[in-house]
Structure 1
Amino acid sequence: MTLYVEMFVFGALLGLPFLYETRPAFGYCLKFFLYSAVVMINSVILIPVFCFRAKSVKNLILASYFCRWITHMIGVKWELRNGERLVPQKSCIIVSNHQSTLDILGIFQIWPTMGKCSVIAKKAVFWVWPFGLAAWLAGLTFINKNKANEAKARINEAVEKVARENTKLWIFPEGTRRNTGEIHPFKKGAFHAAITAQLPVMPVVFSTYYFLDSPNKRFDQGTVIIEVLEPISTKGLSPDDVDDLAEKVRHKMSEALKRLNQETKSHFQPSDNLLI
């Protein structure tokens, strides 16, 4: 009986490469399974460590070293441009487009560069244990998007902490993940908070995941360009300027995304800035 089990397992393992090459849906599911599994395992490992300095955003830098190598397993490369704009340890609000759960893997690649930085995440993420617990211990701020006033208050608290502790705060102003190749309308919470605290807004743009097609369950190998745009000052702005600020940032990000997408579509050529 044992021999038959061993033969079955051996045959199944031999068949994996064939399924991976001939069944796109299998490769899609396998890559996301590996991604999720490694993140969950790392969460279990890191939770006891995070408890020694609970809620410190320095924990996120440590987490990035544990998780960033996953990208090799799933065949995604990342290129960071203008990363020097992230280096100064100064308070700012980082806003970026939100396309997939892969976004967090991209942030893992650049956390060591940008240093102390927290992230605003939806409250549902907290209940995805053990990852949610690890994220909370690492200093993430969770908001309930269905309760606008409560969410706004939580964002304002996070921004006050950022200004007080000289850290950065990462916000996805689109709110919902959409891998459509464009920047969608922004929610205004990040910009209200930035103006209230008089902190600069730093736009970060991820090129479209052209290699990822969730409706058709396709996940090929590919490269993502992460471009850091010029920070936009909020000095002297008032709450009346929120709409103009949000639209200004969105316009700059939209133009950058169009440019990056044209580049990635025309046979992307790796550069010296590749992070892996």
Structure 2
Amino acid sequence: MASSYSYPELFLAGFIFTLPFLYEKSNVFRYYLKFFLYYSYVLIMCTILLPVVLLYPRDVTNLVVASRFCRYASYIVGIEWEMRGMEHWDNDECYIVISNHQSSLDILGMFEMWPRMKRCTVVAKRPLMFTGAFGFGAWLSGLVFIDRLRTDRARQLMKEATERVKADKTKLWIFPEGTRFNKGSIQPFKKGAFYLAIDSQIPIMPVVFSQYYFLDNESKTFEPGKVVITTLPPISTKGMTRHDLETLSDMTRQQMIEVFNESSKNLVMQRKIAF
């Protein structure tokens, strides 16, 4: 009797049966699969939520709504988040939030924080605005997209964003390292965020993500892991001038480095004990 299955069907069945083996044995397969699932889930959620955020265009509280659904991507990829210092957030105050930047996974940690931060938006690179439903949804949620190659326009957008922050008691989240860096340290800071904080006399709110010890882009490793996100007490800029910029930047970075090293060290020790 001739087989009732076609070659494509047999190939698909064989591929499906090999998935558990590939996931268990191949770091590279697991790495790309987890990022695929992460991006796919967030994109699907953003598409579903577009009609909701369209009701309140450019409203930063749309991010609170989105986070309640998108945060479940952390369970899919196996990341646990621990929040520390959330008592420092005052929803009646505006801040320039300064955070280290290690991976696109940072957004998952922010999804965990948004219900507590309430009114907080983010400065992002302009190309992200053109990533389909995600980019459109982010724009509708009040993200500030800047083109770093157009310096004058970027400065104008940042100035306008800071004015809205003060008027609406919002938080503006900035990654001052400029690029993602997951090598066990915090890179030197660019000065734009500190200019804004001093010129507008808005406090700096440092936020530190512990090292992503479970993620290695070079070896394509992406294991389950835990991240501690620590919010430090706000740093006042009252009375500061641009002459204080270097001192403010260095002081903020040094505080963050100390917390980064301590929280990362503790997680690595816990992992060693567990195994």
The two structures have a TM-score, normalised by structure 2, of 0.94
Cα offset, 1:172, TM superposition: 0.4
Q: Which residue of 2 aligns with 1:257?
A: 260
Q: Which residue of 1 aligns with 2:223?
A: 220
Q: 2:255 is matched by which residue type in structure 1?
A: K
Q: Which residue of 1 aligns with 2:27?
A: 24
Match of 1:43 among 46, 53, 56: 46
Contact 1:87/1:113 (CA < 8 Å) preserved in 2?
no
Contact 1:87/1:115 (CA < 8 Å) preserved in 2?
no
Match of 1:137 among 134, 137, 140: 140
Q: 1:212 is matched by which residue type in structure 2?
A: L
Match of 1:208 among 208, 211, 215: 211
SS at match of 1:41: helix
Match of 1:115 among 112, 118, 126: 118
- For 1:115 and 1:215, the matched residues in 2 are separated by 36
Q: Which residue of 1 aligns with 2:62?
A: 59
Contact 2:91/2:119 (CA < 8 Å) preserved in 1?
no
SS at match of 1:252: helix
Cα offset, 1:7, TM superposition: 4.6
Match of 1:195 among 178, 194, 198: 198
Contact 1:89/1:114 (CA < 8 Å) preserved in 2?
no
The two structures have a TM-score, normalised by structure 1, of 0.93
Contact 1:126/1:132 (CA < 8 Å) preserved in 2?
yes
Seq. identity, %: 45
Cα offset, 1:14, TM superposition: 2.3
- For 1:164 and 1:214, the matched residues in 2 are separated by 41
Q: Which residue of 2 aligns with 1:149?
A: 152
SS at match of 2:179: coil
- Higher alpha-carbon deviation: 83-92 or 168-177: 83-92
- For 2:74 and 2:90, the matched residues in 1 are separated by 23
Q: Which residue of 2 aligns with 1:168?
A: 171
1:238-257 matches, within 5 Å, as 238-257=241-260
Cα offset, 1:83, TM superposition: 1.1
Q: 1:206 is matched by which residue type in structure 2?
A: F
Q: 2:64 is matched by which residue type in structure 1?
A: I
Q: Which residue of 2 aligns with 1:3?
A: 5
Contact 1:90/1:166 (CA < 8 Å) preserved in 2?
yes
| Larger radius of gyration between Structure 1 and Structure 2 | 2
- For 2:55 and 2:4, the matched residues in 1 are separated by 46
| Structure 2: gaps of 5 or more residues | none
Q: Does 1:177 align with 2:180?
A: yes
| Structure 1: gaps of 5 or more residues | 270-276
- For 2:4 and 2:71, the matched residues in 1 are separated by 38
SS at match of 1:210: coil
Q: Which residue of 2 aligns with 1:88?
A: 91
Name the count of aligned residue pairs: 269
CA offset digits 1:232-252 (Å, max 9, x no partner):
000000122112111111111
**Per the alignment, do residues 48 and 2 of structure 1 end up closer, same or farther by CA in structure 2, a change over 3 Å counting?**
farther
